[in-house]
Amino acid sequence: MAKVAFIGMGVMGYPMAGHLMVKGGHEVTVYNRTAAKAEQWVKQYGGKSAATPAAAAEGADFVFTCVGNDDDLRSVTVGKDGVLSGMKAGAILIDNTTASAEVARELHAAAKEKGCGFIDAPVSGGQAGAENGVLTVMCGGDEATFEKAKPVIDAYARMVGLMGDVGAGQLTKMINQICIAGVVQGLAEGIHFGKQAGLDIEKVVDVISKGAAGSWQMENRHKTMNAGKYDFGFAVDWMRKDLDIVLTEARRNGAKLPVTALVDQFYGDVQQMGGNRWDTSSLLARLDKK
């Protein structure tokens, strides 16, 4: 049992912190910018809440963050009252935000200066994965720090992998998003085509999902896509944030991502349609628009 702090009681952080408490058996202190969510978490799980990230991190062995983007992450770590001003030497900062590899390297350096460890640890598996404690966690950092952090991360994960040095977790998450972007657009086009052709989409998917075209997206999203339902899941705004990180990194490393860049623009169209909070499968709404 360890002393743990968790910063960011969002869709993901709230249940992840819960698993650290219940499944991990750790002593958990949470912080959330909007205090009501932290209070609600304490009511549900019985841990503690703190008034600032620094106060939550005081005395903790492991400090988790799961906020929005790079700037949000900087604000709760190296900003005023950020966790690094409260962390003790030897403690480990584990960041679950989907952010850039650059900010991961920045935080690693800042943590090192304080005698602390750092692991970038973005996740995949969505809200359901977080609620069920079965996320896939892609880590970057040194092996010794990872070995200490892994048993704690295990409380909310089904798969935890060390992908390489600091930043490698974020780079792996970028690959995850590149793969998703193309697959979802392909699936949207397939369903759109099937509707235009007058076929029964359920019947089509029932058959082709067992063959080479099958995917997680097809299995888990075709029903809601066919019904035009998008008010759930991983928001288009988040996906655009992720694809911006991906395309910036690609400009840096010279990777060619023509389909990803195109799908990013398609998500821009979905935002224009008012779909900022729609699930990423809403690429179909753009095609079905009359």
Ligand X SMILES: NC(=O)c1ccc[n+]([C@@H]2O[C@H](COP(=O)([O-])OP(=O)(O)OC[C@H]3O[C@@H](n4cnc5c(N)ncnc54)[C@H](OP(=O)(O)O)[C@@H]3O)[C@@H](O)[C@H]2O)c1
Q: Which of 198, 188, 143, 192 is nearest to 166 (CA)?
A: 143
- Binders of ligand X among residues 206 to 245 (CB under 6 A) are 234, 238
Answer yes or no whether residue 153 interacts with ligand X by CB under 6 A. Answer: no
- Hunting for tokens 């979905």 — which residue is that? 270
Which CB atom, from 72 or from 269, has the smaller least distance to ligand X?
A: 72
Binding test (CB under 6 A) with ligand X, winner from 8, 15, 18, 24: 8
85 binds ligand X (CB under 6 A): no
Q: Binding string, 111-130, against ligand X, x = CB under 6 A? A: ------------xx-xx---
**Three-state SS for 51?**
coil
* Least Cβ distance, residue 239 to ligand X (angstroms): 8
**By CB under 6 A, residue 13 contacts ligand X:** yes
In the bound state, the residue with its beta carbon closest to ligand X is 10
Kindly state the smallest distance separating residue 147's Cβ from ligand X, in Å: 24
Burial label for 69, CB within 10 Å (0-12, 13-18, 19+), is middle
* 173 part of the active site: yes
In angstroms, give the least distance from the CB of 255 to ligand X.
21
- Please select the residue that binds ligand X; options are 4, 5, 6, 12, rule is CB under 6 A: 12
Q: Given 37, 88, 114, 173, which residue is catalytic?
A: 173
Q: How many CB atoms lie within 10 A of CB 265?
A: 10
Which DSSP state fits 89? T
Cα separation values, 14 from 62, 87, 204, 278, Å: 16, 21, 38, 21
What binding mask, one character per residue, do residues 65-84 give for ligand X by CB under 6 A, x or -? -xxx---x--xx--------
> Distance (Å, rounded) from C-alpha 283 to C-alpha 188?
6
Report d(CA 52, CA 82) in Å as an integer: 7
Q: Kindly indicate which of the ranges 6-14, 42-50, 245-253, 261-269 contains the residues binding ligand X, using the contact rule CB under 6 A.
A: 6-14
Told to check if 27 binds ligand X by CB under 6 A, we report no
Distance CA 227, CA 249 (A): 36
> Distance between CA 209 and CA 14 in Å, rounded?
33
Residue with smaller CB distance to ligand X, 136 or 215: 136
The verdict on 177 binding ligand X (CB under 6 A) reads no
Give the CA diameter of the chain.
64
Q: How many residues does the chain have?
A: 290
Q: Any contact of residue 4 with ligand X (CB under 6 A)? A: no
Region 86-115 residues binding ligand X, contact defined as CB under 6 A = 97-98
The single residue among 9, 139, 166, 225 that binds ligand X, judged by CB under 6 A, is: 9
CA distance 234 to 211: 26
CB of 80 to ligand X, least distance (A): 11
In DSSP terms, 207 is beta-bridged to: none
Q: Single out the residue of 3, 22, 37, 59 in contact with ligand X (rule: CB under 6 A).
A: 37
Residue 35 CB neighbours (<10 A): 12
Closest CA to 57 of 121, 21, 120, 3: 3
Positions that interact with ligand X (CB under 6 A): 8-13, 32-34, 37, 66-68, 72, 75-76, 97-98, 123-124, 126-127, 234, 238
Residues tagged active-site: 173
